[in-house]
Chains A and B, each alone.
Chain A
C-alpha cells in the first residue's frame, strides 16, 4: 500500500497544509491581526445590518441632509482617506529602512486621526444640542439617533484607540524596538478603520 499522498498531483499544495509551516506565508502577528479584524468586521456588519433592518421596517426616516452637515462629514471622509495613505507610506518607508521618515508619516496619520475624532465630536455636539438622545429625538424615530450614536461611537472609539496604538508604534519604530513587520500589522488596523467608514458613511449619512 502506498500512501495516499504519494498520488497527489500537487505535492507542494498537500504538504503546505500538513502542518509544521505557515500555510498563508504570513507571520503570527499579521495572521492574528487579520483574525481580530475579521471578528471586528462581523461586529460592524451586525450593527449596519441592524441599522438597515430598523430603517427598512420604519415607515419614515429623517432626512439627514437637513439635520446633519454632510459637507463636514465629507471632509472627515477625505481626512480618513488621507490618513490611510500616509499610513501606507509610513510602512513603505519603514520597509526601506528609512525609520525617521516612517515616524513622520505615522505622526501625520495620528494628527489626521485626531482631527477626524474632533470633527466627529463636533457633529455629536450639534446633534445632541438639536435634542437627539440615545433613546429619543425630535424627529420621532428613536432608532435614528440610537443607530447613529452606537455606530459612529463604536467607529470613533476605533479611531481614538488607533491613534494610541500608532503613537506607541511611532515610539517603538523611533527606538528601534519594532521593525517594518510590526508597523505593517498596525497599518492593517488603520486600513480597516478606513474600510469600515466606507460603509458607515453612506449608511448613516448619504443613503
Chain B
C-alpha cells in the first residue's frame, strides 16, 4: 500500500520575499529597542521589563508567523502549537512565582 494519498493537499501559500524583508527590518528595529532600553536609556525597572517582554513577544510572533510559515497553515495547526505553550507559561508563572517570592522573603 504505497500510493500517494490525494487527500493530503499541502498548502502552497508562502509569503513573498518583500514580506520577509519587512519582517527582517522590524526584527532589527525591535532588537535595537531591546539593546537601547538596557544600554542607552535609564528607565525605571518596571518599564524596562515591560518593554523587553513586549518586544520579545512581538519578535516571537513575527518569526512564528512568517519565518515558520504558521500564518499560512490551517488555523487548527496554529492553535495546536501556540495554545499549549501559552498555557504552560501561565501555569508555570502561577506555580513558580509565589514560591520564588516566598523564598526571597525568607532571606
Contacts and interface: CB of A to CB of B under 8 A. Distances in A.
Interface stretch (A70-78, A112-120, A122-130, A170-178): A70-78
Given A74-B35, A195-B68, A52 B100 contact: yes
B1 interface: no
B107 to A, nearest CB: 4
Interface in B60-94: 60, 63-64, 66-69, 73-74, 76-77, 80-81, 84-85, 88-89, 92
A34 interface: yes
Given A26-B74, A49-B92, A87-B67, 12 more contacts: A30-B10, A34-B81, A38-B85, A70-B35, A74-B31, A85-B20, A91-B14, A187-B68, A199-B60, A206-B38, A206-B52, A207-B48
A184 B64 CA distance: 13
Range class of the A interface residue count: 35 or more
A132 interface: no
A20 B48 CA distance: 51
Interface stretch (A53-61, A151-159, A160-168): A53-61
Contacts, number: 138
B47 interface: no
A24 B74 contact: yes
A87 B66 CA distance: 11
Interface of B: 5, 7-12, 14-17, 20-21, 23-24, 27-28, 31, 34-35, 37-39, 48-49, 52-53, 55-56, 59-60, 63-64, 66-69, 73-74, 76-77, 80-81, 84-85, 88-89, 92, 96-97, 99-101, 103-104, 107
